[in-house]
Amino acid sequence: MRISIAAVGRMKNGPERELVARYLERAQASGKPLALTGFDVHELAESRAGSAASRKAEEAKSIRATLPEGMLVMLDERGKSLSSEAFATQLGRWRDDGRQAVGFVIGGADGIDPEFVKSADLTLSFSPMVWPHQLVRIMLAEQLYRAITILSGHPYHRGD
């Protein structure tokens, strides 16, 4: 199953970008034996439309055009909170069900278009707090790597 991330906004070169790259490289290397591949990031420009609603709609259209057909996961503070184990189990279930791809969406400063959110297979929250997209990208990359270690029985994850 191919895993992709679509993020509105670009990360500058620096420690945050390096940390995302490090976790995704680990996920890519460890995921191959588990039939989890890709781990690519698509950075999309923020819309310059006049209203927040128009910006969100334009960004949703760009994201849809970027991600492959498959499962769609939105990252939103109003989403469902999952433990790392439950997240890993969900990825494994999608893979085992023959899903070809899963795309993760990190919205821009205005958030994600509500109609686009409704089309998601899962809306996931790392917290009810709002986080900068750079930190969300780091947390998602780490959780993807952690999920792979959980699925493979690697000792990286030492939860209860």
The pLDDT tens digits for 101-121 are 999 999 998 999 999 999 999
98 lies in some domain: yes
Binding site as annotated, residues for S-adenosyl-L-methionine: 75, 107, 126-131
Domain that holds residue 42: 2-152
65 lies in some domain: yes
90 lies in some domain: yes
Chain centroid to CA 11: how far? 15
160 lies in some domain: no
97 lies in some domain: yes
pTM, 2 dp: 0.94
Chain centroid to CA 39: how far? 9
128 lies in some domain: yes
Give the mean pLDDT of 87-104: 97
| CATH code, domain with 123 | 3.40.1280.10
43 lies in some domain: yes
Tokens at residue 69, please? 């057909």
Binding site as annotated, residues: 75, 107, 126-131
Q: pLDDT-based confidence at 156, cuts 50/70/90?
A: confident
Give the mean pLDDT of 2-26: 96
158 lies in some domain: no
Number of domains in the chain: 1
